[in-house]
């Protein structure tokens, strides 16, 4: 079967750095997305990785290792508004998105 694993919940301090991991086992791989979802709101696009390596976008970076079936989202200089759920999703061989359950990130002052 297809599976996406993420930690259920993480806590970090304002101003710090946090890394949210995602491991996957899917039938094929055609890219990996990270989305941010604030409570009661729609998911919004953060990043898309299809090749190995690190992609940096402001305070957020996303890393992919296809050989390890692994990705992480790195958030720097955490702000209170970063409190949200972070969803990892993999595009499988049929170009369908397989979603993880999401990681709830709690930021403390």
Cβ-based nearer residue to another protein, 44 or 79: 44
Q: Which stretch binds another protein (CB under 8 A): 9-17, 20-28, 72-80, 100-108?
A: 100-108
User: Under the criterion CB under 8 A, does residue 69 sit at the interface with another protein?
Assistant: no
Find all residues with CB under 8 Å of 40, minimum gap 6, and list them: none
Instruction: Give the Å distances, CA to CA, from 99 to 34, 57, 63, 78.
Output: 10, 22, 17, 25
Q: Out of 64, 91, 105, 107, which residue is the one contacting another protein (CB under 8 A)? A: 91
Give me the sign of the Cα torsion angle 59, 46, 100, 66. Answer: negative
- Which parts of this chain interact with another protein (CB under 8 A)? 4, 8, 30-31, 33, 41-45, 48, 50, 87, 89, 91, 95-102
């Amino acid at each position: 079967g297809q599976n996406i694993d993420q930690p259920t919940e993480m806590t970090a301090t304002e101003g710090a750095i946090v890394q949210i991991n995602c491991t996957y086992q899917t039938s094929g791989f055609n890219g990996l997305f990270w989305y941010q979802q604030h409570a009661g709101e729609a998911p919004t696009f953060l990043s898309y990785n299809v090749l190995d390596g690190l992609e940096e976008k402001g305070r957020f970076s996303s890393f992919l290792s296809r050989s390890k079936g692994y990705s992480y989202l790195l958030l720097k200089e955490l702000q209170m508004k970063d409190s949200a759920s972070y969803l990892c999703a993999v595009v499988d061989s049929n170009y369908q998105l397989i979603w993880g359950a999401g990681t709830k990130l709690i930021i403390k002052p």
